[in-house]
Amino acid sequence: MSQFTVPPIWLPFPSEESPAAHALEQHALAWVHDMGFLHNARTRQHYQAGKFWFLVAHCFPHGAPAALQVVVEWDSWAFMLDDESDIGRLRRRPAVLRRVLDQLLLVFENKLRHTTPLFVGLQAVWNHMQPWATPSWRGRFRESVARTFAALVWEAENRARGRTPDQSTYIKWRRASSGLATHLDLADFTEGIALSEAVRTHPLIAQLSDCANDVISWTNDLFSLERELAHREVHNLVVVVAAEHHLSLADAFQRVHAMNAQRIDDFLTLEKQLPNFPDGSGVERYINVLHSWMRGNLDWSIATGRYTPVETDQPSQQPSFLDPLGQPKRAGLFSRWRRRDAARLIPAEVLAR
């Protein structure tokens, strides 16, 4: 039995699932296979246990199916990168991680520097976003990704220095590492939302977005605690609260659960304070996306096998989709693909610097 069983988390939003859920699962499996991320039973099982299609289907239950396919590609890619930075070979190598992420950001400028799966996969997703993307949206999405990447480097620096962040600093960076901002950008595609800059930056909209982000992030921290303890991970609100307030992990776990409940109440209070925005502003649909994300993330956290603890702190022993032998499975899928480049998902010359 789990040492840290998450008590019920009350959310006044219904559980919903996209009718495209099964198709999303099939699309996701085909995509990661074609990108070269999976090539044996172990990595396939590890990916399937994550149920990233479930997350997309429950967080965007009313999304357009074609757009949801792009979102599940993005999530599959992003979770692979997240594992590589959290429990993989880059977890305590901030300088190398920063170089990798800086080169990945060049993909958004259509400057593909490497033809390994990590880079080619991002280019493929980015290409699939283009039918919906406007110039302003491209810039906004790139900035959201850059903030997430900065949080990954910050975490790697903390690990390398053996440093546990304080609570307020952690909460600030956790909003970036969650990646929610990229999904709120993608809601423009899935829901047809087009908030004006004035609405997007309205103080109450910003506060509601932060509240939802905290609920999503802290819920995740509750469910992922045992897995992260197995990897001696300090980037979990329970660990941070225990260290700052000199609590046992059990007491900190209960405190974070209570903090999360309070944050849900904060969201509901703020929502009642929203002014009447003009018809067509997109605010109602945006708030509904926040509802769906809080509920969908909770449902996924219960359903996923992603947070099953692995009792080792050795990156090389982790089941990883970042397989060094990965390569696209369809001949000719990318004209720039060269077999000799398939030695690593992350280019050897980048890691060697």
The answer to the question of residue 34 being in a domain is yes
Is residue 6, in this structure, part of any structural domain at all? no
pTM attached to this predicted model: 0.89
Q: Tens digits of per-residue pLDDT, 302-332?
A: 999 998 865 444 554 444 444 333 344 443 3
Q: What is the DSSP string of 275-341?
A: --PPTTSSHHHHHHHHHHHHHHHHHHHHH-STT---S---GGGS--S--TT---SSTTSSTT--GGG
249 part of a folded domain: yes
- In terms of Cα–Cα distance, which of 12, 27, 16 is closest to 61? 16
pLDDT at 155: 97
Which residue range(s) make up the domain with 247? 21-352
Instruction: Work out the pLDDT band at 349, boundaries 50, 70, 90.
Output: low
278 burial level (CB within 10 Å; 0-12, 13-18, 19+): exposed
In a domain, 4, yes or no: no
In a domain, 7, yes or no: no
Query: Residue 222 belongs to a domain with what CATH number?
Result: 1.10.600.10
Average pLDDT, the chain: 88
Total number of domains constituting the chain: 1
Res 338: pLDDT: 30
- Residue 88, pLDDT score: 77
Backbone region of residue 214 per phi and psi (left: phi > 0; alpha: psi in -120 to 50; beta: other values): alpha
- Residue 168 within a domain: yes
Q: Cα separation of 60 and 68, whole Å? A: 8
Q: In whole angstroms, what is the distance from residue 272 CA to residue 181 CA?
A: 23
Under 8 Å between Cβ of 299 and 58: yes
Q: Which residues contact 329 (CB under 8 A, 6 or more apart)?
A: 33, 34, 36, 39
Give the angle 21-26-29 at the CA atoms, nearest 5°: 125
In a domain, 16, yes or no: no
* pLDDT at res. 333: 32
The pLDDT tens digits for 335-345 are 232 333 333 44
The radius of gyration computed from the CA coordinates of the chain, to the nearest angstrom, equals 20
Q: In the predicted model, is pLDDT for residue 117 greater than 90?
A: no
Write the pLDDT tens digit of every residue in 20-49.
Answer: 999 999 999 999 999 988 878 888 888 999
Does some domain include residue 13?
no
